[in-house]
Amino acid sequence: MKSHSSRESERKEIIRQQKLITKHEKTIEKQKQIIARQLQALADSENALKVKDQLYLEATKVIDGLLKLLTTLIELRDPYTKGHSVRVMEISLLLARHPNLESHLRENLVVFGYACLLHDIGKIVIPDYILNKPVLLTEAERLMIQQHTELGFKLVEPLDLNPIIGEVILNHHENFDGTGYPARLKGKEIPLTARIVRIADVFDALTSDRPYRKAYSLEQALSIMEKQKSQFDPELYKIFLSLVRENKILPPAPA
């Protein structure tokens, strides 16, 4: 038979164990509450991301729509350049993605594509009679149309857009040999983006109908570009020719 002291010890031990169990239950309950809050925070975060993604998608649709509208406006002013901006974008992106071209530009291809679409936006403020003149321009008219780079830059400058867009609009007529406009920049003073667009722009202009002439054939266009190759970044021009040989760059299809 257990002594009084033994029974008292057992009772105290049971009470101690019950207190420990109660303490553990409270700790477990607190942990459950913490986990519940963390799960709720995670769910809220996921919902916020979904909303953010949806807003991003909607914003992207709006931007794409506005770019198409602006491109259409440019083409309405200068019907002979219909499709020009899109083709310049396609050729420029092929050059920018080429594995031989080591550049941070691959991280900004979407913005670069936008810049290509807008490269001629300054033509919106050039008089129609100059854009659509069926004979060669006079010197004064030529100087006026050259202003489209600076005028386009001034149109987008207040909008606080990615700098790539402004640099393409302003510099896509600069030549590697320093004979271009508006600032007669030379070599790598010209942003890489603009050096890429320069090649794409020239090729598409040569292989498209203009108000004062019919499109040149691929062979004729390449011959002209070869004679003018000092205007192009040599590395980019080499990549461009390799893409032409691979039939990745072709003249626009006849209308």
pLDDT in tens, 171-180: 999 999 999 9
31 by Cβ neighbours in 10 Å (0-12 / 13-18 / 19+) ranks as exposed
3 state DSSP class of 209: coil
**Which token pair is 248?**
């990745």
pLDDT of amino acid 43: 54
The reply to whether the predicted model has a pTM over 0.85 is no
Kindly give the confidence (pLDDT) of every residue in the chain, 255 residues in length, as a single tens digit, with 9 standing for 90 and above: 556 666 677 666 566 656 655 665 565 456 556 545 644 554 565 555 555 566 656 666 666 667 776 777 777 766 666 789 999 999 999 999 998 887 778 888 988 998 999 899 888 888 888 888 888 888 999 999 999 999 999 988 888 888 999 999 999 999 999 999 999 999 999 999 999 999 999 999 999 988 888 999 999 999 999 999 999 999 999 999 999 999 999 998 876
pLDDT of amino acid 173: 98
Nearest to 60 by CA among 120, 113, 97, 124: 113
- CATH value of 79-245 in 1.10.3210.10, 3.50.50.60, 3.90.1150.10, 3.60.9.10: 1.10.3210.10
Cα dihedral value 150, 151, 156, 158, nearest 10: 90
Please count the residues of the chain. 255
pLDDT of amino acid 224: 98
Domain parsing of the chain, residue ranges: 1-77, 79-245
DSSP 249: S
